[in-house]
Chains A and B, each alone.
Chain A
Amino acid sequence: MSEHHHKETFVTKYIFSQDHKMISKQFLVTGMFMGIIAVLMSMLFRLQIAWPDTSFSIVEAFLGSHQTDGIMDPDMYLALVTIHGTIMVFFVLTAGLSGTFSNLLIPLQIGARDMASGFLNMVSYWLFFLSSIIMVMSLFVEAGPAAAGWTIYPPLSALPQAIPGSGMGMTLWLVSMAIFIASSLIGSLNYIVTVLNLRTKGMKMTRLPLTMWAFFITAIIGVVSFPVLLSAALLLIFDRSFGTSFYLSDIFISGEVLHYQGGSPVLFEHLFWFLGHPEVYIVLLPALGITSEIISTNARKPIFGYRAMIGSIMAIAFLSTIVWGHHMFISGMNPFLGSVFTFTTLLIAIPSAVKAFNYITTLWKGNLQLNPAMLFSIGLVSTFVTGGLTGLVLGDSALDINIHDTYFVVAHFHLVMGVSAIFGMFAGVYHWFPKMYGRMMNKTLGYWHFWLSIICAYGVFWPMHFIGLAGLPRRYYTNTNFPMFDDLADINVVITIFALVGGIAQIFFIANFFISMYRGEKATQNPWRSNTLEWTTPVEHVHGNWPGKIPEVHRWAYDYSKRVDPNDDDSDYLHGEDFVLQTTPLLDGEEPS
């Protein structure tokens, strides 16, 4: 393989590349671009929430015909929250996170030359790119983009009479998502096959870094659940365009009775959430995997409870596919189902708690190298705990009745999957930037970025729980029609200010990212003194990853600070340093950990 001498043109190297490292960079940059759009949208609608009657020239500039005198139209407000959610969940945190790091790390950490199928990998990216283009295009449709919420519940999403965004905007949304799902499935299958078949000699499943386990299991959940969303979307397309009645029945709108008979929106909710809930873990597990790796490396300690971590990932993955009904406690489904879903939902707290405790124990008595990546990982643990705990309230059907669809839910899921996953993604970028671009990111900007981000994340989402407990429903264009919510107005102003500062703070990251790409300090081969295989490859990318033979693996990934005498913390490091590459053979008499 090392004798590869492809003639690489600009097009095959940078555009239609089949090299996993290039594809991962393509995923990252596309994901970042989509992320910027989604953040800008959130800043716009936060302006509306905080100052509903105030005219903003920035609103006028961005929204064109969808505003009057600098105040956005109610339809556009709904469209913004819809597209913000869609882009963040799918385009940033699924494709941007999984696509980037699964592609970059799977071959590098298991010791493979590339993905099982470089061609399919390329197809996966370009389908994602196409779906991104279509989603962005839908913003410019005359009647506005999809506006039925990111969950696109019919009949609202099926009937253009109900909301203008359900016309061409929704058509493009569905087409975009169908292509996105194809991209995701092709990618996931590739990840699974690669992890199972292309591990280097000695890389047993039980020696895989936790990143690999997380990506591997994530890919499996994706393959299990994404097709169901595809079928849900296809049936919705049928209802919208071909007159079927899968989701619609007995509807009177705009002065006429529609012909639909016998369908049920609850069916759509089931199909949607069968993907929708596992999706939470598709987003979160890779972030947790990245965190496991980064915390262990920077704590200079083995991750605590490696096998328990794998078990937790598997338990979470399994449970995640049988809890979708907790989004539907009050949808009108049989209350008995509600009981079942409450039970399975709260069970997820157990493996989640195990993971959180294990992270904290990994920090305990460590030698913490507080790099930006490490701080983002610690931040992830913090927001994961905060957001996870409120899940105990929402997962309990009896309590969910009264806080369903309030801002309490918004606060909960933003902390537990939004902020946590994006922190994981940032951590990953800071940590593996040297592997991607051969240069380092600036740490001072990284620190600024982290502290502003976490302060703003809590500043936005902690008070938001309380306005939810005050009974304020989400997706309200303004609360001014309800005097009972007047005392929440000031809190919303505070939240918006934190949101704006937090959004603007991302400039630190964007600038750091692009400037470091060209001007950053040159990376050394193993800058974080890490154990895993990706740090045995040369800094300059070569096709096939290792110039010579693929290295052989002799140990797990977490032999940090291993001692001569395992029971004596003061004894010397067994291998002379506080890290031991996975390629280092066991010494005579050394116990494998």
Chain B
Amino acid sequence: MLALFYIFIGVAIGVSVWQITRIMDFRSSIANDQDNAAQGKFAIAFMAFLYAMMIYCLIFMNVIMLPESASYEGEHDDNLFDITFWLIGIVQFIMQFLIFYFTFKYRGSKDRKAKFYADSHKLEFIWTVTPAIVLVLLIGYGLWQWNNVMDLSDAEDPIVIEVYSQQFRWDARYAGADNTLGLGNVNFIKGINTMGVDMSDKNSADDKQVTELYLPKGRKIHFKFRSQDVLHSAYMPHFRAQMNCVPGMVTEFGFTPKYTTLEMRDQPEVIEKSIGINKIRKAKGEDPYVFDYLLLCNKICGASHYNMQMKITVVEQEEYDKWLSEQPTLAEVIK
């Protein structure tokens, strides 16, 4: 593979040099009618290439994309995305056609005269107002959804979880029976108290520190994010959720899981994607892939940025309660 690659580069350079020296002997600089005709045809050929690639990607890359939103809040994101994508897709196909078709159709020749056409208030009015109307609709839906996602005030009985980032790992802290997180600050980091929880705060004692997230299906989760060193970003693509973790402040995000991990594994989209992945993994002799929700770091944070992840497991309420009761409280851990 590699040798082939070097040969390929070598050949490319060789051909380039040969072509360049040959071509430079022809001292022609300004396009004539033959050039216009040839380049016009190339424009059509290129358009064919572009359309083939665009359509190929749109159809065959569907399988690699993220499956449908695993949170209720993300449903509208998917909707809005579909609407936007259809819209820009249609505009893209029309505009690219016009650009390259006109390049071909109106390629220059001695017999042609260009039309003197400098202005049309009517046309300009149309293509100022049409995008404006479309945009008002998109903005409207987008802003409604944005407020929907970002407003955490009206959630009934949310589960409060702190997600804590540092180079290069994630931790999480559940708020415990009182559903209130104890205060945290880097000054309290000492020994086993790696998240810097203020143990003198009465809310801290029942908090539970874990290295993996378990979430109950159908309950609103209210995440609070802290970072200990540099910026990180908690990216949970399957839930359409992301928020930066900023040292010195607490940021927030919330969503309600819609499918358990097991249900998600049975999703047709997930099954199809897993089959594709496992074909590749099998060829390389690696263990088969099983779908899991993940939290990834999505803000450049240092050398091991590329390997900063935490598993998320969504389960039914009973299983969640059971799991949580098995986790020790901070008061038990930090004596």
Binding site for B on A (CB under 8 A): 51, 54, 56, 73-75, 78, 148-149, 153-156, 159, 162-163, 248-253, 257, 262-266, 298-308, 330-332, 335, 338-339, 342-343, 346-347, 349-350, 353-354, 356-358, 360-361, 363-371, 374-375, 378, 381-382, 385-386, 389-390, 392-393, 396-399, 401-402, 404-406, 440-445, 447-448, 451, 454-455, 458-459, 462-463, 465-467, 469-471, 473, 475-479, 481-484, 486-491, 500-501, 504, 507-508, 511-512, 515-516, 519-521, 527-528, 558, 560-563, 566, 569-570, 573, 578, 593
* Distance (whole angstroms) from the CB of B129 to the closest CB of chain A: 9
* Distance (whole angstroms) from the CB of A144 to the closest CB of chain B: 11
Of A153, A332, A342, A385, which one neighbours B143 at CB under 8 angstroms? A342
CA separation between A368 and B185, bound complex, in Å? 66
**B77 sits at the interface (CB 8 A):** yes
Residues of B within 8 A of A346 (CB): 135, 138-139, 142
The reply to whether B35 and A443 form a contact with Cβ atoms under 8 Å apart is: yes
CA separation between A588 and B231, bound complex, in Å? 69
Of A78, A303, A406, A501, which one neighbours B303 at CB under 8 angstroms? A78
The reply to whether A75 and B231 form a contact with Cβ atoms under 8 Å apart is: no
The reply to whether A570 and B113 form a contact with Cβ atoms under 8 Å apart is: yes
Of A350, A471, A519, which one neighbours B237 at CB under 8 angstroms? A471
List the B residue with the shortest CB-CB distance to A489.
Answer: B280
Q: A257-B187, A332-B246, A368-B103 are in contact. Are A155 and B241 (CB under 8 A)?
A: no
Pick the most buried of A365, A455, A569: most chain B CB atoms within 10 A of its CB.
A365
Residues of A within 8 A of B296 (CB): 471, 473, 482
**B65 sits at the interface (CB 8 A):** yes
Q: A370-B107, A443-B35 are in contact. Are A74 and B298 (CB under 8 A)?
A: no
The reply to whether B277 and A264 form a contact with Cβ atoms under 8 Å apart is: no
The reply to whether B146 and A342 form a contact with Cβ atoms under 8 Å apart is: yes
CA separation between A515 and B53, bound complex, in Å? 35
**B178 sits at the interface (CB 8 A):** no
CA separation between A308 and B112, bound complex, in Å? 27
CA separation between A490 and B279, bound complex, in Å? 13
Residues of A within 8 A of B155 (CB): none
The reply to whether B19 and A448 form a contact with Cβ atoms under 8 Å apart is: yes
The reply to whether B297 and A343 form a contact with Cβ atoms under 8 Å apart is: no
CB contacts under 8 Å to A, within B101-145, are 102-103, 106-109, 112-120, 123-124, 127-128, 131-132, 135, 138-139, 142-143, 145
Binding site for A on B (CB under 8 A): 1-2, 9, 12-13, 16, 19-20, 23-24, 26-31, 35-36, 39-40, 42-43, 46, 49-50, 53-54, 57, 61, 63-66, 74, 76-77, 80-81, 84-85, 87-88, 91-92, 95-96, 98-100, 102-103, 106-109, 112-120, 123-124, 127-128, 131-132, 135, 138-139, 142-143, 145-151, 166-167, 185-187, 189, 196, 225, 228-231, 233, 235, 237-238, 240-244, 246-249, 251, 273, 276-277, 280-281, 286, 289, 291, 294, 296-307, 309
CA separation between A154 and B246, bound complex, in Å? 10
Residues of B within 8 A of A501 (CB): 12
* Distance (whole angstroms) from the CB of A386 to the closest CB of chain B: 6
The reply to whether A520 and B118 form a contact with Cβ atoms under 8 Å apart is: no
Contacts A/B (CB < 8 Å), 27 sampled: A78-B300, A78-B305, A154-B230, A156-B230, A250-B247, A332-B243, A335-B150, A367-B106, A368-B36, A369-B31, A385-B92, A386-B92, A392-B87, A402-B66, A402-B74, A402-B77, A405-B235, A442-B24, A462-B57, A471-B296, A477-B305, A484-B277, A484-B294, A500-B9, A569-B115, A570-B113, A573-B113
Residues of A within 8 A of B63 (CB): 487
Q: A74-B303, A301-B117, A562-B116 are in contact. Are A159 and B189 (CB under 8 A)?
A: no
CA separation between A440 and B50, bound complex, in Å? 31
List the B residue with the shortest CB-CB distance to A361.
Answer: B123
Of A154, A249, A330, A444, which one neighbours B243 at CB under 8 angstroms? A330
CA separation between A78 and B302, bound complex, in Å? 8
Q: A332-B246, A370-B31, A462-B54 are in contact. Are A393 and B81 (CB under 8 A)?
A: yes
Residues of B within 8 A of A491 (CB): 61, 64
Of B20, B229, B241, B244, which one neighbours A162 at CB under 8 angstroms? B229
- 18 more contacts with CB within 8 A, not counting A335-B151, A375-B39, A398-B146, are A250-B185, A330-B233, A332-B244, A332-B246, A364-B102, A369-B36, A371-B30, A397-B143, A471-B237, A473-B297, A486-B280, A487-B280, A504-B13, A507-B16, A519-B24, A560-B116, A561-B113, A569-B113
CA separation between A357 and B125, bound complex, in Å? 12
Residues of A within 8 A of B100 (CB): 378, 382
Pick the most buried of B84, B273, B302: most chain A CB atoms within 10 A of its CB.
B302
The reply to whether A475 and B300 form a contact with Cβ atoms under 8 Å apart is: yes
Return the 6 tightest CB-CB contacts between A and B, nearest first.
A249-B248, A440-B29, A471-B237, A335-B150, A332-B251, A370-B39
Of B29, B39, B139, B151, which one neighbours A442 at CB under 8 angstroms? B29
Of B27, B118, B289, which one neighbours A483 at CB under 8 angstroms? B289
Q: A386-B96, A399-B142, A484-B294 are in contact. Are A330 and B244 (CB under 8 A)?
A: yes
The reply to whether B300 and A399 form a contact with Cβ atoms under 8 Å apart is: no
The reply to whether B233 and A399 form a contact with Cβ atoms under 8 Å apart is: no
The reply to whether A466 and B30 form a contact with Cβ atoms under 8 Å apart is: no
Of A156, A397, A404, which one neighbours B300 at CB under 8 angstroms? A156
The reply to whether A266 and B246 form a contact with Cβ atoms under 8 Å apart is: yes
CA separation between A298 and B74, bound complex, in Å? 49
List the A residue with the shortest CB-CB distance to B273.
Answer: A487
The reply to whether B119 and A504 form a contact with Cβ atoms under 8 Å apart is: no
